[in-house]
Structure 1
Amino acid sequence: AMYGVAPKKPDQDHHRHHAGGHTKGPPSSSSALPPQFDKPPLTARIHNLIKEGRLDLTHTKISELNFRPLRPSDYEEVESLHNEWFPVHYDGAFFTAATNGDCYSLAATVPLPAGSVSEREDSDAILGIITVSTGRTAQTENPDTFLEIMRHK
């Protein structure tokens, strides 16, 4: 279900590779994650870019951010960031809708330094995301589950 609690994964080894080829980092410190939830490991591309020294955000100014709609090539990064930030599981239909323009989206990005990315990589890194839908975004969405989660906030 789109708004169900994320399934617990048996392997929480923080330094193994996942599907995107990035290594898993330390646990998320998102304030949106309730204390009783297992903290997911940081797996988004942005963390590896920083760890590898390809991106330094220490002196980044707000005026240096770019804002753009999400695009299909952002799917994996958006999914990783949502898993790190939020205590609910979103199904693939949500990420497809967000990255294909089926709902309003806006990504705050920073450009990566010239020469720090390969031809296959995006030339920017996502720092934040907004997605907005005015209706149900997937056939699999269970309104009862959604209402139950909202009741506990």
Structure 2
Amino acid sequence: MDEASFTLHVNGKTHQVQADPATPLLYVLRNQLGLNGPKFGCGMQQCGACMVLVDGFAHPSCQLQVHRVGAAPITTLEGLTCPDGSLHPVQQALVELQAAQCGYCLNGVAMCAAGLLRQYARPDEQTIRNALFRVLCRCGTHERYIRAVQRAAELGASG
């Protein structure tokens, strides 16, 4: 296909980008907008490294074609930071509890947690596990991530 122009609403800002409509959103975010939060992991929507929020819900961006995003607001890890520059409660909890090990899955965990806490202010442990299920962590830090999401809920990450 030929390139087309798209208006993307990313992290509260509007961007005009040129891309083949079938280009994965991940490539546009990283290569054209310079956002490095979402990572390329498996390319098959199975590891969570590329997770972003689309209209407030966690969604893998490695196979989401840019033309399918429409006018939905997109939030990347860079956009989680609060307007005053402070860390989002999810980010704060992950740091406070030293939840990450290698950090490759951290983007997916943070984005899934932020999306979850937008829907449920106080999710139970099983709900958290279900939300993080789409994130592959090879270091085995899922238990620490669950505690961090619980802490983020305590810090008021909803909304």
| Bucket of the pairwise TM-score, normalised by the shorter protein | under 0.3
Normalising by structure 2, we get a TM-score of: 0.24
Task: Select the structure of larger CA radius of gyration.
Answer: 1
Which protein, 1 or 2, shows the higher relative CO under an 8 Å CA cutoff with sep ≥ 6?
1
